[in-house]
Chains A and B, each alone.
Chain A
């Protein structure tokens, strides 16, 4: 069965600090996808990135960057020069089979709450 672990329950930083959110996953699939989502206080989950298991290149998008290391089953997310608007709960997710059917689903971690203070 697939599993996603986000060991950091809550992180507090001061604006302009860099912060890394950890994500460790378990799967027996050889092909899978990894995702990060942001859930601001409004409640809607916002899709940030999808990464294919065959592509270990790091990705940067503005102040966001992602480090995928298959050897350690980790897919960490770094926010550079954090801002107050980055305050949210961040979820890491992994694609996986659903109820032993041919259907696929996303397995979510428990989330990391990021608090950025001015």
Chain B
């Protein structure tokens, strides 16, 4: 079974829609992450959860809202997105902070 799963794999949404991305890790890890990967840009860390505690990142627009109900699940709630938010959204987990992260396959998001 894949260690980190993400659903959906592809998502097309309008600017007025509300959707959620889901991530699940089966590795027993304590930390989970959301990244954004845009074309020709470095990986951008959006949110970090460690033992279900979130580290605030004020540089991420409020139209992205994370949720971590337990150590195995991570959500990214999306609302009123902009076309520039179209990207590959990657979820990752790690056994502890600073250690290697294991990534899911990503959700390819297109905002129309």
List A residues at the B interface (Cβ < 8 Å). 33, 35, 37, 42-47, 50, 91, 95, 98-99, 101, 103-106, 108-111
* A35: chain B residues within 8 A (beta carbon): 100
Given the interface contacts A103-B48, A103-B50, does A108 sit within 8 Å of B55 by beta carbon?
no
A104-B104 in contact (CB<8A):
no
What would be 14 A-B contacts, judged by CB atoms less than 8 Å apart?
A: A35-B100, A43-B90, A43-B106, A45-B103, A47-B102, A47-B103, A50-B99, A50-B100, A98-B45, A98-B55, A103-B50, A104-B97, A105-B48, A108-B42
Given the interface contacts A43-B106, A98-B45, A110-B42, does A103 sit within 8 Å of B97 by beta carbon?
yes
A104-B98 in contact (CB<8A):
yes
Q: Which 5 pairs across A and B sit closest by C-beta, in order of nearness?
A: A104-B98, A104-B97, A45-B103, A95-B98, A44-B105
B106-A105 in contact (CB<8A):
no
B43-A91 in contact (CB<8A):
yes
Given the interface contacts A45-B103, A108-B42, does A99 sit within 8 Å of B57 by beta carbon?
yes
* B50: chain A residues within 8 A (beta carbon): 103
Which residues of chain B from 22 to 39 have a CB within 8 Å of any chain A CB?
Answer: 33
List B residues at the A interface (Cβ < 8 Å). 33, 42-43, 45, 48, 50, 55-57, 88, 90, 92, 97-106, 108
Complex Cα distance A27/B103, Å?
24
Complex Cα distance A91/B45, Å?
14
* B45: chain A residues within 8 A (beta carbon): 98, 105-106
Complex Cα distance A95/B98, Å?
5
Name which residue of chain B comes closest to A33, CB basis.
B98
Name which residue of chain B comes closest to A96, CB basis.
B98
Shortest CB distance A90–B (Å): 13
* B33: chain A residues within 8 A (beta carbon): 105
Name which residue of chain B comes closest to A50, CB basis.
B100
Shortest CB distance B91–A (Å): 11
B100-A44 in contact (CB<8A):
no
* B106: chain A residues within 8 A (beta carbon): 43-44
Most buried by A among B33, B101, B102: B101
